[in-house]
Amino acid sequence: MSTEQNTIHEFDFNLICEYFSMFERQGPGSPEATLKALSFVEGLTADSSAADLGCGTGGQTMTLAGQLPCRITGLDLFPGFIERFKQNSVRLGFQDRVKGIVGSFADPLPFEKESLDLIWSEGAIYHIGFRKGIETWRPYLKTGGYIALTEASWLTNNRPDEIRNFWMEAYNEIDTIPTKIKQIQDAGYLPVASFVLPDYCWIENFYLPQLQVQEEFLKKYPGNSTVERFIEMERHEQDLFMKYREYYGYVFYIGRKL
């Protein structure tokens, strides 16, 4: 995410990792939304393979692992997140079938082509762009395999300039739900389902837990302008969500490879 001036990528990776490692999840979401999306995925067995791309510390991966009998590989760019992911997997007793690996979900992925029955990705595909992501990842799915993603989407046909301009700067692929569904269809998937994440996935699960950590961070790094700017960005993003949440949100999209 970004503001008018800075993208998150301009900040020190270790700082971002330290900040977001303090949370169970690194983006808006909830176990209920993960399970609701999973309810549209059929036919997975103990022999199936799933990948969670941009898994972060694995909040949603562990929810999936509690329901699915199969192997799940979490992939993330940040070694610090994968370290926490592995600790979570061991703590919950999933370590024999839930693995975390450090790597990128840009092409080529560290999987065999046509090897995956399910690709999961919450709050991460925007890093390479929705259309590019669904096209790049498709060859790694078996025919009939599923893709389940959350993606920032407009909920209305019109929106105030302030929020439109913010998103054009932050992620100009944000679009309406029908447009995203058409993109899924055009990329060679059957659109199976879509639903909007409820507000609590953003407010109670994502923004509110950050308030205390922001105070702690500012105390831990007094006078550090990078930290101050980063937290200012996070707070600005939260303020915009509170003001404009009727116009945009995260939408879960579930598709099946044709």
Altogether, the residues listed in the chain come to a count of 258
Rounded to the nearest whole angstrom, what is the least distance from the CB of residue 228 to ligand SAM in the complex? 21
Kindly tell me which of 78 and 166 has the beta carbon lying closer to ligand SAM: 78
Rounded to the nearest whole angstrom, what is the least distance from the CB of residue 33 to ligand SAM in the complex? 10
Q: What DSSP string describes 81-136?
A: HHHHHHHHHHHTT-TTTEEEEE--SSSSPSS-TT-EEEEEESS-GGGT-HHHHHHH
CB 131 within 8 A of CB 189: no
Q: How far apart are CA 210 and CA 217, in angstroms?
A: 10
Rounded to the nearest whole angstrom, what is the least distance from the CB of residue 13 to ligand SAM in the complex? 9
What residues does 162 pair with on adjacent strands?
none
Rounded to the nearest whole angstrom, what is the least distance from the CB of residue 142 to ligand SAM in the complex? 21
Kindly tell me which of 141 and 161 has the beta carbon lying closer to ligand SAM: 141
* Footprint of ligand SAM (CB under 6 A): 25-27, 29, 54-56, 59-60, 75-78, 81, 104-106, 122-124, 127
Could you give the 3-state DSSP secondary structure of residue 176? strand
Rounded to the nearest whole angstrom, what is the least distance from the CB of residue 106 to ligand SAM in the complex? 5
Categorise residue 129: left if φ over 0, alpha if ψ from -120 to 50, beta otherwise. Answer: left
Which pairing describes strands 189-196 and 248-257: parallel, antiparallel, or unpaired?
antiparallel
